[in-house]
């Protein structure tokens, strides 16, 4: 895909508790400065893939047991989560994990502990950049994070990630549980961040239509394997993707639940 990817997963396997095989030879590339989407149903292995990259598997008794993960040409799969985050990778975990008792601005400042002299940014400059992209957070900065809306909490955790001056953001299900208008606002900001700050983004998302609109390239994961990858334009036209992930028939109408259930049993890439 890219001659010089910022992130490369080479045929990785992941096991939990040394026996439960979750990822079965996953290979993914994220080009420098690009947005790449990872699509799949619940339980496909998407979040495990992100945790393998960020080093968070260790906290759940999981490990990469085969293959390798490279970031900027250096192997990171044997490194600690702290070391990986200091190298420029930050994961935004699903579920809007704000520190509820802290204010919005205090939440943002938590991200600044990873700012290094190399980044050339002060905490004040980091906050100004976050407030530039998320003006709503400037208005809410002195409010307790536990009492702001779900959309504002999602903006806060993305802003907190931005405070680390990252090279790569791992975004896990940012649209989950949010109203459509807020989802589009957040994704517009994420797209601007990618374009203007040249931050690479690996986006995990169940909302395939949304993901294919913001990411030029996407991978499809099923049962711990990558079963398809292509440009978003081609994937949108792929009959399997239209049928199962976009829920559309050839005439553009939505499939019934009965038809989708039948399709699950006949998925071409698993036969």
pLDDT digits (tens, 9 = 90+) for 25-44: 999 999 999 999 999 988 89
Residue 265: pLDDT band (50, 70, 90) is very low
Secondary structure element (H or E) that encloses residue 22, with its range: strand 20-31
Indicate the pLDDT class of residue 21, thresholds 50, 70 and 90.
very high
Q: For residue 93, how far is the Cα from the chain centroid?
A: 8
Q: Which run of H or of E encompasses 19?
A: none
Tell me the DSSP string of 162-199: HTT--SEEEEE-TTTT--HHHHHHHHHHHHHHHHHH--
pLDDT at 246: 75
170 vs 185, which has greater pLDDT? 170
Confirm if 160 and 107 have CB atoms less than 8 A apart. yes
Phi, psi angles (nearest 5°) of residue 183: -60, -50
Nearest-angstrom CA–CA distance, 125 and 135: 15
Instruction: Read off the pLDDT band of 118 (50, 70, 90).
Output: low
What percentage of the chain carries pLDDT values higher than 90?
66
For 253, the token pair is: 């109408």
pLDDT at 92: 93
Q: What does the pLDDT read at residue 180?
A: 86
Which CATH number is associated with domain 5-88+167-237? 3.40.50.300
Does position 90 have pLDDT exceeding 60, yes or no? yes
Per-residue pLDDT reduced to its tens digit, 27-86: 999 999 999 999 998 889 999 999 999 999 988 899 999 999 999 999 999 999 999 999
Looking at residues 98-115, what average pLDDT do you find?
89
Q: What would the pLDDT profile of 137-173 be if each residue is shown by its tens digit?
A: 999 999 999 999 999 999 999 999 999 999 999 999 9
Q: What is the DSSP string of 96-144?
A: T---TTSBHHHHHHHHGGG--GGGT--HHHHHHHHHHH-HHHHHHTTSB
Structural domain boundaries in the chain: 5-88+167-237, 96-165
- Is pLDDT of 3 > 60? no
H/E element, 269: none
- pLDDT reported for residue 250: 47
Model confidence, pTM? 0.88
List Cα–Cα distances, 26 to 46, 131, 222, 249, in angstroms. 10, 37, 11, 30
C-alpha separations of 61 from 27, 56, 87, 173 in Å: 22, 9, 23, 22
pLDDT at 97 (0 to 100): 83
């Amino acid at each position: 895909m890219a001659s010089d990817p910022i992130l490369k997963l080479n045929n990785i396997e992941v096991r939990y508790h040394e026996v439960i095989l979750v990822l079965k030879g996953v290979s993914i590339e994220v080009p420098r400065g690009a947005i790449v989407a990872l699509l799949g149903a619940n339980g496909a292995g998407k979040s495990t893939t992100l945790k393998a990259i960020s080093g968070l598997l260790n906290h759940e008794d999981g490990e990469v047991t085969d293959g390798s993960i490279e970031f900027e040409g250096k192997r990171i799969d044997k490194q600690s989560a702290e070391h990986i985050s200091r190298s420029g990778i930050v994961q935004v975990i699903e579920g809007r994990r704000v520190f509820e008792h802290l204010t919005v601005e205090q939440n943002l400042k938590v991200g600044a502990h990873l700012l290094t002299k190399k980044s050339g940014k002060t905490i004040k400059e980091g906050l100004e950049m976050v407030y530039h992209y998320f003006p709503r957070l400037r208005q809410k900065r002195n409010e307790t994070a536990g009492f702001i809306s779900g959309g504002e909490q999602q903006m806060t955790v993305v802003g907190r990630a931005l405070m680390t001056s990252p090279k790569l953001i791992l975004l896990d299900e940012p649209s989950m549980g949010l109203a459509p208008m807020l989802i589009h606002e957040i994704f517009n900001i994420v797209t601007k961040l990618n374009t203007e700050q040249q931050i690479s983004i690996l986006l995990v998302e169940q909302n395939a239509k949304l993901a294919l609109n913001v990411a030029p390239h996407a991978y499809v994961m099923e049962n711990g394997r990558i079963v398809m990858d292509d440009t978003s334009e081609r994937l949108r036209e792929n009959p399997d993707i239209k049928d199962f992930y976009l829920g559309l028939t050839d005439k553009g109408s939505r499939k019934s639940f009965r038809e989708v259930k039948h399709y699950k049993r006949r998925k071409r890439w698993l036969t």
